[in-house]
Homo-oligomer: A and B are copies of this chain.
Amino acid sequence: MLSSFLSRDSQTKKIQDNITKVEKHFGELCQLFAAYSRKTARLRDKGDLLVKQIELHADTETPELKRGMKEFADHLAKIQDYRHAQVQRLDAKVVEPLKSYGAVVKRKREDVKMTQSAIDKEAKQEAQLEKTRLRNPSDRQIIAESELQRATMDAARTTKQLEETIDEFERQKIRDIKKIFSEFVTVELCFLGKALEVYTSAYQSIQSVDEEADLEVFRSSLHPPDYNSRLGRTNSRTSLDRTFMSTSGTLKVTQKQQNFSFQISFL
């Protein structure tokens, strides 16, 4: 009877150690996944600031670059939206289930405690029966043995229930690790897939900026309005007329009677 008690006792200890181990590891995973999620949120925040700055910057640029930068900012904003969803999903699908393990583990620990006390009680009863057997006549021994049989069955049932509970706990643990890790990957993959698509559009937006068109606008902006109206805003030549420095190098200075205002005529 004692060896059976010891066996069950050490088994309960093993189970308790296992619960403690799960509690510790899930707690650590929870903290680290939460930290990972928080850092993703910080990255999203920096992405948001970048979007705002690019938008502000875009407003000061020539039309083509402005359009390209605005579109780029829109795409980058969309990626931060996806990143926000990623953070929320990491919290809901990874961090929360790991956190809720605290409660699961607590319940399991109660179960083990209850079983342990049932085992202790049973051990006392066994010791009592042993005493009775040694002291009492054979007619009382029969009663004792029947009581022992009942006690043994009770003990077996209790141990079996605990084993089933723990078996279920272990199965659930493996399933939950698989589920939580898979959810983590799914959330990450979902973000990656969407970001990949949006970044591709962002790339096209910025690559499509027509720098020559913008340079025209820029050159015009440097010259006084009358200069622009004279040259015409649709002028496709550069305002730094290349002929100015050509071999002919003609420079006409129209000297008027009343003032010395001059006009560089671009040939």
User: Contact partner of A21 among B60, B164, B224, CB < 8 A?
Assistant: B60
Question: Interface centre among A45, A215, A240, by most B CB within 10 Å?
Answer: A240
Determine how many copies of this chain the complex contains.
2
- Across the interface, which residues of B come within 8 angstroms of A167, CB to CB? 215, 218-219, 238, 240
Q: How far does the Cβ of A190 sit from chain B's closest Cβ, in whole Å?
A: 10
Name A26's closest neighbour in chain B (CB-CB). B57
> For residues 187 through 211 of chain A, which have their beta carbon under 8 Å from a beta carbon of chain B?
188-189, 192-193, 195-196, 199-200, 202-203, 206-207, 209, 211
Name A49's closest neighbour in chain B (CB-CB). B32
Tell me whether A11 is interfacial, beta carbon within 8 Å.
Answer: yes
Tell me whether A4 is interfacial, beta carbon within 8 Å.
Answer: yes
Q: Is the CB of A222 within 8 A of B15?
A: yes
- Across the interface, which residues of B come within 8 angstroms of A35, CB to CB? 46, 49
User: Contact partner of A264 among B29, B50, B156, B214, CB < 8 A?
Assistant: B156
Name A34's closest neighbour in chain B (CB-CB). B46
Q: How far does the Cβ of A45 sit from chain B's closest Cβ, in whole Å?
A: 8
- Across the interface, which residues of B come within 8 angstroms of A65, CB to CB? 174, 177
Q: Is the CB of B260 within 8 A of A1?
A: yes
- Across the interface, which residues of B come within 8 angstroms of A193, CB to CB? 196
- Across the interface, which residues of B come within 8 angstroms of A81, CB to CB? none
Tell me whether A113 is interfacial, beta carbon within 8 Å.
Answer: no
Name A217's closest neighbour in chain B (CB-CB). B170
Name A214's closest neighbour in chain B (CB-CB). B174
Name A31's closest neighbour in chain B (CB-CB). B53
- Cβ contacts A to B, 14 pairs, < 8 Å: A2-B261, A3-B259, A32-B49, A35-B46, A43-B43, A152-B262, A156-B244, A163-B222, A170-B214, A177-B206, A182-B207, A185-B199, A188-B199, A192-B195
